[in-house]
Amino acid sequence: MKKQPCLKLLVALGIGILAFVPVALAEDAAAPGELIFPPQSKHCHGSSLVECPNGDLLACWFFGSGERTADDVVIQGARLAKGSSDWGPVFLMADTPNYPDCNPVMFLDPKGRLRLVWITVLAKGWQHSILKIRTSEDFQGEGAPKWSWQDTILPKPGDEFAAEVERAFKELDPDRGIWGEYARPYTEQIITAAKDLIKRETGWMTRIHPLVLPSGRILIPLYSDGYNVGLMAISDDSGETWSAGKPLVGMGPIQPTVARKKDGTLVAYCRDSGSEPQRALVSTSKDDGQTWSSAVDSDVPNPGSSLEVIVLKDGRWVMILNDTEQGRHSLALWLSDDEGATWKWKRHLELTEPGQGSFAYPSLIEGSDGQLHMTYTHAVKEGKTIKHAAVEVDWIKQGDKP
């Protein structure tokens, strides 16, 4: 759905965020890393990264001549063997013949199996996407994982979906102020569409790593370009069956990334697909992702691009994001020692002049080696590829060099 003008409410959530402060360009901005494959002209985007129990890294992304309208788009992957500095050959991870396959995410389920979740796009529209899932128990050898099982995920939001959408918009009261004349038709359109059974059962898409809670519950963060809302696909049986949580509603919160606080509260940061100011929207859940507060603007800048937050083993939070209001030429790591209340340390992975490069759609993990590992789209004039970078957490605290 195209961006709609709408009112965004600055509401305190009790998890205050440090305001964004721009930094000067730095010659040494790029973090240590390597390109997974040589730059080329085709579209490659939406990477996901996972560490295998044996220490190998697996990365995947979608690749082809476009996105939702290009029927040659497939899911590709590559492996970085433990101890190696060179990524192995690119291999095929998934392909639905004559349909685009996009937005892959990988994770290890509570039984230690590798799961690949992605979307197949029907009728050349994001709103017609269907979720697919593959399982591998043999994924630590050379080359591609060996898949043993595949299925679709049908979250199937019920009538409570429409009721929650209407309730949240009423709470946000978007009709107030200068945006009122635009917000009313926008919200009415979404509320009406939420009552359509077919529309609400399709078009749910992946982007960010799933989260496995201490209870074993799996949350797959989903979003809809048709509704401009988020939602969790929930499994309490290691991914054998799935249900839909209630929607995460606001003025354009999509592609949620979820962190768990020590008290059990879940915090979702979302890509901003609404109007100015360009900020990540934030929402909280007190019931393990079943219901969510209305999403409101944070102080985290967001140019309409995916971001990810993870909780480190020591409790600190790390966020990877395009730390601008416009453009994807700046990619940074932020570090918090108070569960996102403030982000005291920031350092850039990539930083160039606007229009000189695009570094976006990151995937972030904490490796068993104690390093932060990340992959992201790396697009410059020489071509497009996926880049992998690895840094120590203290690298962030050193900040950008003057």
Check which CATH number belongs to the domain holding 359 and give it. 2.120.10.10
Q: Domain for residue 85, yes or no?
A: yes
Write down the pLDDT at residue 322: 98
> CA end-to-end span of the chain, whole Å?
41
pLDDT of 24 above 50: no
Mean pLDDT of 350-361: 97
Write down the pLDDT at residue 143: 95
**260 near 205, Cβ under 8 Å?**
no
Element housing 30 (H / E):
none
Q: Domain for residue 402, yes or no?
A: no
pLDDT of 402 above 90: no
pLDDT of 362 above 70: yes
Q: Domain for residue 258, yes or no?
A: yes
Write down the pLDDT at residue 30: 61
pLDDT of 2 above 60: no
Write down the pLDDT at residue 19: 36
Q: Does residue 168 sit in helix, strand or coil? A: helix
Q: Domain for residue 315, yes or no?
A: yes
HSE-up of 39 (CA within 13 Å, CB side)? 10
Residue 222 structure tokens = 């989903």
What band does 301 get if pLDDT is binned at 50, 70 and 90?
Answer: very high
pLDDT of 159 above 50: yes
For the stretch 29-85, pLDDT in tens is 567 899 999 999 999 999 999 999 999 999 999 999 999 999 999 999 999 999 999
For the stretch 110-144, pLDDT in tens is 999 999 999 999 999 999 999 999 999 999 999 99
Q: Domain for residue 328, yes or no?
A: yes
pLDDT of 26 above 70: no
Residue 143 structure tokens = 């080359």
Q: Domain for residue 25, yes or no?
A: no
Q: At what angle do helices 180-193 and 159-172 cross, to 10 degrees?
A: 170
Q: Domain for residue 307, yes or no?
A: yes
pLDDT of 221 above 70: yes
Using CA atoms, how far apart are residues 253 and 281, in angstroms rounded to an integer? 6
Using CA atoms, how far apart are residues 163 and 152, in angstroms rounded to an integer? 26
Q: Domain for residue 134, yes or no?
A: yes
Q: Which domain holds residue 321?
A: 33-397
**pTM of the full structure:** 0.91
Domain total of the chain = 1
Using CA atoms, how far apart are residues 191 and 165, in angstroms rounded to an integer? 6
Write down the pLDDT at residue 168: 93
Write down the pLDDT at residue 32: 82
CB-neighbour burial class of residue 195 (10 A; exposed 0-12, middle 13-18, buried 19+): middle
Write down the pLDDT at residue 157: 95
